[in-house]
Structure 1
Amino acid sequence: MYEIIKSGGILMWPIIISSIISVAIVIERYWTLRVANVRPKDQLPQVWRWIKNQQLDSEKIKNLRQSSLFGSVLAAGLQASRYGRDAMKDAIQEAGDHAAHEMERFLSTLGTIAAISPLLGLLGTVLGMVDVFSDIMTQGTGNTSILAGGISKALITTAAGLTVAIPSVVFHRALVRKVDELTVLMEQDSIKLVDAIHSDGAAQKK
């Protein structure tokens, strides 16, 4: 393995570093974006029980905000609920944007790695081919084994770059989709809370 890396030239090292960063991001994001971590399924029913039983206070809202990203969205909406439906929706929208930004952390880096890895590989191949043509100028074309070996070495970086780029593209798209799905679910649940609180309030006024 070391010989392959060595024969690929200096550009193999940024490709290897990119692969390590890519793997680390994928593992970290999949661990962080677990549904149970971002949007616990029992959180909304718990909030609604607090409201029904008149147990909702500043301490519970504080704990709710710190419990998960979805909890922070609900907490923002609950704090603004006294100012009316529109204010509550605006607060939820703002908190939801912040939550989405948190979920998208490092995804731009993963997308950059997916884009530049094949370019690094191509650059390594071009530099390798320059060396091959330099050998042709000094030794001629008689020694085919040297030329074949030089070309194969030049192509190593392209293969390495594609090996990093292809999984990075796949996981980047999968994670972006996961973030979108979680964002939609949080938005739908938040709107349910808005409708429940203000429809209930309207019914009590009547």
Structure 2
Amino acid sequence: MFELIKAGGWVMAPLIACSVVALAIVFERLWALRRARVLPPPLLADLRRWAGEGQLPLRQLEGEFVHSPLGRLIGVALANRRHGRDVIKDVIEDTGRHVVFELERFLNALGAIATIAPLLGLLGTVSGMIRIFGVVSLQGSGDLRLLAGGMSEALVATAAGLVVAIPSLIFYRFFRGRVDELVMSLEQEALLVADLLADEARRP
């Protein structure tokens, strides 16, 4: 493995760094974007029960799910329950923007790695070709062993760039779809909370 990395030339160092960062982002987002963490099932069950009863609890949310994205939306809605539906929707939207930002954390970096990695591989290819032409200009092309170093640098760098870029792009698209799905679910639950509070406010 070390010989293969060495054969790829200097461009392998940034490619390895990109792969380590991409792997860390993938594992962190797989943990952070779990549906059970964003939309805790017990909190969803409570919300359905409150909807069936036609009212939300007078107290603020308590327990381990209060700091989940859904819990934060419900919490700000409850904190502003006396200010009317429009105000409630505004504070939910404001909090929702922060929640979406947190859900999308590091995704731009992952997308950047998916874009940069093949370019680094191409740069390594160009570097290897320059090395080959330098050897040819000095030594001629009769001895292929003299050209092997440049050829291996060009091929290994290209392959390494693609190996880093392809999984990064796949996970970037996967996480983008996961975020969109979670945001849609959060919006539905937030609207349910706003409607419940609005109905509650209209009661005598």
Settle same-fold status: TM greater than 0.5. Answer: yes
Structure 2 unaligned blocks of 5 or more: none
> Which segment drifts farther, 144-153 or 83-92?
144-153
| SS of equivalent to 2:171 | helix
Matched-pair contact (CA < 8 Å) for 1:65–1:73: no
Aligned pairs for 1:62-141 (under 5 A) are 66-141=66-141
For residues 126-176 of structure 1, the C-alpha deviation after alignment (integer angstroms, 9 at most, x for no partner) is 111111101001111111343255313322111101100011001001001
Structure 1 unaligned blocks of 5 or more: none
Whole-angstrom CA distance in 2 between matches of 1:77 and 1:64: 18
Whole-angstrom CA distance in 2 between matches of 1:54 and 1:121: 56
Aligned residues: 202
Supply the AA of the counterpart residue of 1:115: T
| SS of equivalent to 2:10 | coil
Q: Which residue of 2 aligns with 1:23?
A: 23
Q: 1:122 to 1:8 in 2, by over 3 A?
A: same
Q: 1:54 to 1:24 in 2, by over 3 A?
A: closer
TM-score (norm. length: structure 2): 0.90
Q: 1:65 to 1:36 in 2, by over 3 A?
A: closer
1:13 counterpart = 2:13:
yes
> Which segment drifts farther, 14-23 or 43-52?
43-52
Supply the AA of the counterpart residue of 2:188: Q
Whole-angstrom CA distance in 1 between matches of 2:70 and 2:147: 60
Matched-pair contact (CA < 8 Å) for 1:111–1:169: yes
Q: Which residue of 1 aligns with 2:37?
A: 37
TM-score (norm. length: structure 1): 0.90
Q: How far off is 1:62 after superposition?
A: 6.3
Q: 1:53 to 1:115 in 2, by over 3 A?
A: closer
Richer in helix (by share)? 1
**Percent identical residues:** 43
Supply the AA of the counterpart residue of 2:88: M
Matched-pair contact (CA < 8 Å) for 2:66–2:75: no
CA RMSD in angstroms comes to 2.1
